Amino acid sequence: MLDRFILSHRQVTFRDESRERIWDEGFRRAATLARTEVPLPSRSLIEGTRSVGENSTFYGLAARRAIKQHIGNVWREPDGTFLEFVVLCKWLEALQGTEEPELETARAALGTMIQRGLTQLLCDVDLDQWQRFHNFGFAEGLSSRLWQIHIAGASAAAYVLMALASREGATVYLPTAHEDANFGIDLFWIEGRTCHAVSVKCVGGQDKHVLAWHVTQRPPRNLTDRVSLDMRRIHNGARQFASQEGRPCVPVLVYVAKPVDGPIKLDRDWEGLTWPDQILTTITRRTRVEVSRALRG
């Protein structure tokens, strides 16, 4: 029997020799689309729904229709995916400030679509185009604030994804829209028969390039510092996922330092990184301690 998780989640892989390029024409069309008024689609087909997944499907199809209407047919990827992000960013900006619960779900769906899609795109395109993606947020017609938020988050997620996917015996999957928006999970990392729910944050003012934690306990509610809040979110999210899927899941929190002079660099020696091994070692030691205590008890 095929694993339901594998059927419902997209595995992410990358190979430097098979990276693609977005053509200059793709960037020009994206700039044209950014300047174009693209009205929000009518929500009559999904009126009343609070499902992030249904909203994601709806806005994905609507974005493709909008691209065809305003730009024409797009025959190659990743150009089409890039254009889709431009439309989604414009719609997310248009929904800012709305308070209706239904539109809060729409905002959550658009945000997760942009974040997950950009993460995948940044793993697929040539590294020398990263700076161009970073700068595209200043294009006329786009919210540079929203673009920079999402490109920073996607860059951090792509960095962690590439580090984990480079490990022998490891597989990495993107979460569903529901798991991203409601559980705070950015990646699933499976290694040594253990499923890890990984939350990735891009953090400014951090001295170390990466800080990573195996979140063993949920911090008390009276602790309101950022690390405690982020730990509590992924701890709860991993528990909810485990309950939903009927499989154990280990919560992991990763902070990636945000550079002050541009995007996160992805030209590293991935096999030389040690923090994933440190996480696994910590988990193994704590598991042994728990087993030992159980046997003594």
Greater model confidence, 96 or 282: 96
Least confident of 4-8, 87-91, 111-115: 4-8
The number of distinct structural domains making up the chain is 1
Please state whether beta strands 171-174 and 187-191 pair in parallel, antiparallel, or not at all (unpaired).
antiparallel
> What DSSP element (H or E) covers 196?
strand 194-203
Q: Residue 214: which domain range?
A: 4-296
* pLDDT reported for residue 216: 87
In the predicted structure, residue 266 carries a pLDDT above the cut 80: no
Q: Compute the distance between CA of residue 59 and CA of residue 38 in angstroms, rounded to an integer.
A: 13
Average pLDDT, rounded, for the chain? 87
pLDDT tens profile 163-185 = 898 888 999 999 999 999 999 99
* pLDDT reported for residue 296: 58
pLDDT tens profile 126-163 = 888 888 888 998 999 999 999 989 999 999 999 999 88
Q: Would you place residue 291 in the very low, low, confident or very high pLDDT band (cuts 50, 70, 90)?
A: very low
Beta bridge partners of 256: 202, 210
Q: Do residues 113 and 60 touch, judged by C-beta distance below 8 A?
A: yes
Average pLDDT over residues 230-241: 96
